[in-house]
Structure 1
Amino acid sequence: MNIRKLKVGEKPPMNLLLLADPSRLLVEEYIERGECFVAECDEQYIGVYVLLPTRPGTVELVNIAVCESQQGRGIGKQLVMSAIHTAKARDFKTIEVGTGNSSLGQLALYQKCGFRIIGIEMDFFLRHYSEEIFESGIQCRDMIRLSQDL
């Protein structure tokens, strides 16, 4: 597996990005402002993440996804660690990530990778998404914010 920045003119893998964020409009907006990185295996995209500078010294991991056939193999952790490494190499001081209250696997993954919960944005998903989102039988309502000093 190789993780690399998307080349100029190369189309981002929307099918993967939409696995992590069902709003095409939001994905297109942050893709324009951020940097997209892809994980490839046998010339196929199997994972993706997007880094978006938000404030001086701070970058946010705004999307991370692994194709469904490759999930459960540690690729997500490799993508998160790549994002952390990339952020450090670019002299960011803090990396942040947000995920839904119902995203139990992602909450565990981010904490295993050194992130700490710093806050909750109540009703974020109710305000920003037109359709209800459910994961593991739990309605996704609130954004859990996590952060890591680099």
Structure 2
Amino acid sequence: MNINKLSPDENYPMNLLLLADPSQKLVEDYIKRGECFVSEIENQIVGVYVLLPTRPETVELVNIAVTESMHGKGIGKQLVLHAIETARSRGYKTIEIGTGNSGIGQLALYQKCGFRIVGVDIDFFIRHYSEAIYENGIQCRDMIRLSKEL
């Protein structure tokens, strides 16, 4: 598997980005301000993540997604670890990530990669999304904020 940064003139894998964030408007907004990386296997894009500088010495992993047929193969973990190393190599001191309260698998993955829960943004998904989001039979209401010192 190869992980490469897309240049601004390349097409972004919007179908994958929308798996992690159903708001095309929000995705288009942060994709302009961040850096998009894709993972490829045999010239097929199977994963994506976006790093977005937020404050001095801090970057946020704002979107990470893997093609559904490739779930459970460790690609998500490789993407998270690549994002951590990319942030570290660019001199960032902290990497942050937010995920929905209903993302049980994501919460486990991020903590296995060294992230710690630092806060909860109550009703984030109620305020910012017009339609209810359900995952694992749970309504996604709150943004769980995690952070890792680099």
Question: What's the TM-score, normalizing by structure 2?
Answer: 0.99
2:45, 2:55 → 1: CA distance?
30
Paired amino acid for 1:11: N
Note the 1:96-111 alignment, pairs <5 A. 96-111=96-111
Aligned twin of 2:134: 134
* 1:99-128 per-position Cα deviation (integer Å, ceiling 9, x unaligned): 000000000000000000000000000000
2:129, 2:29 → 1: CA distance?
14
1:125, 1:113 → 2: CA distance?
24
2:10, 2:143 → 1: CA distance?
30
SS in 2 for 1:131: coil
Aligned twin of 1:61: 61
SS in 2 for 1:12: coil
Deviation at 1:7, TM superposition (A): 2.4
CA RMSD of superposed structures (Å):
0.5
Identity of aligned residues (%): 73
* 1:45-90 per-position Cα deviation (integer Å, ceiling 9, x unaligned): 0000000000000000000000001010000000000000000000
Aligned twin of 1:28: 28
1:132, 1:58 → 2: CA distance?
30
Runs of 4+ residues over 4 Å off in structure 1: none
SS in 1 for 2:114: coil
Note the 1:88-103 alignment, pairs <5 A. 88-103=88-103
Unaligned 5+ segments in structure 2 are none
Unaligned 5+ segments in structure 1 are none
Confirm or deny that 1:71 pairs with 2:77: no
Instruction: Give the number of aligned pairs.
Output: 150
2:117, 2:42 → 1: CA distance?
36
Deviation at 1:9, TM superposition (A): 1.1
SS in 2 for 1:117: strand
Aligned twin of 1:41: 41
1:126, 1:9 → 2: CA distance?
33
1:126, 1:8 → 2: CA distance?
31
Paired amino acid for 1:88: R
Deviation at 1:8, TM superposition (A): 3.5
SS in 2 for 1:26: helix
1:30, 1:90 → 2: CA distance?
19
